[in-house]
Structure 1
């Protein structure tokens, strides 16, 4: 910031008396917007929003967030400048970021405790439309739940061991579930009937990832990663393995299918591999971590997950239109840039990558005191949240990986986190048996949600923002709403 290197005596700061401040609006890409503005130090973000919309001549006013030196303006400008000790000798650069037009209401209460599973709930996942919910359990079953009646709609039997992973196809028509025997079952989401199983892995399957909707509709391929050190790409029609990828030397921990025709895998051999999704050839390896790599997250994952779904769903007659919608949604999420990948590890660190272009990391993100269990990009790609066994959640800048804030409140290891679809809220599930909702703008705890009788292993926020689902050691699936 201009003036920051001047001796303290020469730096004029906002004092108690009212003052005027010269500011310049700047977009995220660094482009200056409009002329220099002389505004009182009592100006608020809402007033700046009106000014900016007038300058941009928006047909319909859009909501914006404003940042000075990477700190979001939450109240009056003068108060913010005093708190951050910012000089006003030179014009202030105010970076603006468009926000989601809709606002997700924070979940505040448990609306349903849904028994049914006979053992711990190990995985929960909402459908791409947010209208259905699937859960996998140590009781060897997959259950599909009716969210309108909050009861179990279908119990899918076939597994003979713990169900460890659950994943919906981008068109929402098929659910895949994988178990400790290495078997993957496919189910029709409409009636819970089996479409058959995929056999080939010799040890348990740890992760599933579907080919994105903008690349293929209807969804016919998915990838699985296993403790047997291999990845396999399957055809859902024939239920045959199209090809297998084997370069890792230890158990695969996570698989992600990106929007640029690449597959990403992490493993306990400390490596991250990038593969060509068409033929399974190894593109590059990403070195850096010194211990097991546990988790991967893509900057476009929300767009990839929701596919082309809207409130009307997808019918076979609309597949071509749906594919166009999916392509548009992905293009908006990627903003014309190569997608980013963040990895979390047992070495207590995270790395940010741009794996389609380079094997060199963009940032090394340190601060956690114990292993990183999960990492998630916000739906708009602007934030990264990481959950750790050190009981903390950390917030990072999604552009360059710089540290932003700590979320502290849990008294046990944090197992999973999930973002609201407007990127304003974050929910976490912990060993301490509670869920907590965090406000990204204020960087504070918004709500404490007790209710589970034991550790919370799995958490998901529906893509439509209407509900949070959680499950854990107490064998109960819970729904949380506003």
Structure 2
């Protein structure tokens, strides 16, 4: 069923009645002295430059491309002012963003930090291109391959996982073997192996091409709640990446997938583990119903930090590097590296591009809880939160960083999605439109769009820049539990209670 946007609130009506203040830029505004600095390396470009005080974002882009010698093939950029430890985004022009609010004056020297935007543009999905049946029960998890939108895997309550060919819109393989619900699916960063976690307390590994079972990982006492692969840039060329699993039994296990044995068990949580993430700096993060997040050393399994701040269960975690870790050595073109060495080098290059801020590696973490709040952390620096993020009126079920790490999207049972600044945790906007709890969100690779799925049977696509609903996607006959946007941006997949997989395209 299609859902209607709720009527405007009192505040929205009040704002609509008030005349909008138009920014009148003074005609006698003097020039200002700036320098450009790369966000990843911290290196300056072209020395100091004197520019008009009302220079626009587009003019800054043109100037930087000239200084970089990229006039023939201009690169799109976003700009922020380095103000002490803070970064303040420049929107529209320098005057309205910096000078008018009094952050800087025309006499101050300004360092503008620039970040390349995605060089390709993802088109918003607007229609259901296929409805594929096959599962005999509720679909609980869905994920595209890291290198193509042509293949995806789903896990369901019928004890099977299925690999789908999205080009022919058919089942490619049915992965039979689990004895209970398949709760989580996870594609390896190389794209050759799929891991599935089940309510039967086992993890199974599958060949993604043939659908053949490669082995069973047994050892957990209760069901598997979460899976995460070792990042590609941390795997020695020729080796198989390890896998980490979290379970209802309260433990985290690291598995050697080559010999299919448990390498180490990390104990410490006093209740079930809800989410695990393998970060790109040699750390494993786990969230639990014991209200804590733990940080573990991936080499020896020692707990290095306990992050305590939540007052209720921690439901989900997101890393600022999630998207690039999922892609491994691939990019939006899906090109296959020619050797294991090239694979590792390319994965490292991809990771550094996203994780380096001012020449230093930074990996931020967001935790979402049943206490209606989220916390932003930088565990490599401190066990104290960077920010407490409040505003949701019910539990926060899912949280995700934009691929460039600039924003965080949170999905809540209060029927809303909220957008936050991924660097300081400040509130940015609320997306309203769903009329029932929101289960998940997924970002487009160019960070411009966000898709959400809900109990109200719909998906919705949101424009991050305008903060508005772009597409309402009805079609499912019941609650939609899982959604994923392919890395190449061509397709969105969804699944839920009506047992069908839907593929959405532009």
State the TM-score, normalized to the length of structure 2.
0.85
- Give RMSD over aligned pairs: 2.7
Q: Any unmatched runs of 5+ in structure 2? A: 1-21, 82-86
**Map of 1:54 onto structure 2:** 66
**Partner residue of 1:7?**
none
Report matched runs for 1:81-100 at 5 Å: 86=101, 90-91=105-106, 96-100=114-118
In structure 2, C-alpha distance between the alignment counterparts of 1:375 and 1:124, rounded to whole Å: 16
Which residue in 1 is equivalent to 2:76?
63
Give the alignment partner of residue 184 of structure 2, picking from 144, 165, 174: 165
Unpaired segments of 5 or more residues in structure 1? 1-12
1:384 pairs, out of 408, 414, 419, with 408
Q: 1:413 to 1:309 in 2, by over 3 A?
A: same
2:52 corresponds to which of 38, 58, 64: 38
SS at match of 2:61: helix
SS at match of 2:339: helix
2:349 is paired with a residue of what secondary structure?
A: helix
8 A Cα contact 2:250 2:269, kept in partner: yes
Further displaced range: 44-53 or 173-182: 44-53
Instruction: Considering Cα pairs closer than 8 Å and 6+ residues apart, tell me whether 1 or 2 has the greater RCO.
Output: 2
Partner of 1:103: 121
CA contact (8 A) 1:171 1:314 kept: no
Structure 1 pair 24–104 and aligned structure 2 pair: CA distance change class (3 A) = farther
How many angstroms does 1:86 deviate by? 4.3
1:4 paired residue number: none
The question of whether the paired residues in 1 share the 8 Å contact of 2:57 and 2:79 is answered with yes
The whole-number CA distance in structure 1 between the counterparts of 2:318 and 2:449 is: 18
Q: In 1, distance between residues paired with 2:38 and 2:179?
A: 51
Query: Which of 181, 204, 222 is 1:203 aligned to?
Result: 222
On the 8 A contact 1:255/1:263 being kept in 2, the answer is: yes
| Matching residue within 412, 425, 428 for 1:404 | 428
Offset, 1:420: 0.7
Q: Are 1:212 and 2:239 an aligned pair?
A: no
1:181/1:202 contact within 8 Å kept = no
Select the residue among 24, 27, 35 that pairs with 1:15.
Answer: 24
Q: Which moved more, 1:304-313 or 1:160-169?
A: 304-313
In the alignment, is residue 418 of structure 1 matched against residue 436 of structure 2?
A: no
Structure 1 contact 353–363 (Cα < 8 Å) conserved: yes
| Structure 1 CA distance for aligned equivalents of residues 427 and 33 of structure 2 | 25
Distance 1:327 1:66 in 2: 25
**Residue of structure 1 in register with 2:302 after alignment:** 281
User: After the TM superposition, which residues 110-129 of structure 1 pair with which residues of structure 2 at under 5 Å, given as runs?
Assistant: 110-129=128-147
- Counterpart check, 1:358 vs 2:377: no
Task: Provide the secondary structure at the position in 2 that maps to 1:207.
Answer: strand
State the match for 1:10 in structure 2.
none
In the aligned structure 2, how far is the partner of 1:62 from the partner of 1:179?
A: 45
Match 1:193 to one of 212, 225, 245: 212
Shift of 1:356: 2.3
Alignment-derived partner of residue 3 in structure 1:
none
Taking a change above 3 Å as real, the CA distance of residues 24 and 368 of structure 1, as seen in their structure-2 partners, is farther
Instruction: Give the distance between the partners of 1:223 and 1:143, measured in 2 at CA.
Output: 22
Q: 2:368 pairs with 341, 344, 347, which one?
A: 344
| Residues in 2 aligned to 1:192 and 1:214: alpha-carbon distance in whole angstroms | 26
TM-score normalised to structure 1 length: 0.89
Q: Secondary structure at the match of 1:260?
A: coil
Aligned length: 464
Which deviations, in whole Å up to 9, do the C-alpha atoms of 1:85-130 show, x marking residues without a partner?
7469943967654311111111111111111111111000011112
Counterpart position of 1:306 = 327
* Number of the residue aligned with 2:284: 263
Q: Does the residue aligned with 2:232 lie in a helix, a strand or coil?
A: coil
- Residue 141 of structure 1 is matched in structure 2 by 160
Tell me, in whole angstroms, the C-alpha distance in 2 between the residues paired with 1:277 and 1:96: 33
CA contact (8 A) 1:213 1:219 kept: no
Find the aligned partners of 2:134 and 2:377 in 1 and give their Cα distance. Answer: 41
Tell me, in whole angstroms, the C-alpha distance in 2 between the residues paired with 1:352 and 1:20. 39
Distance apart, 1:73 and its partner CA: 2.5
CA offsets per residue over residues 202-240 of structure 1, 9 Å max, x none? 111000011111111543410110001111111222222
Instruction: Supply the distance in 2 between the matched residues of 1:81 and 1:299 (Cα, whole angstroms).
Output: 25
Q: Which moved further from structure 2: 428-437 or 89-98?
A: 89-98
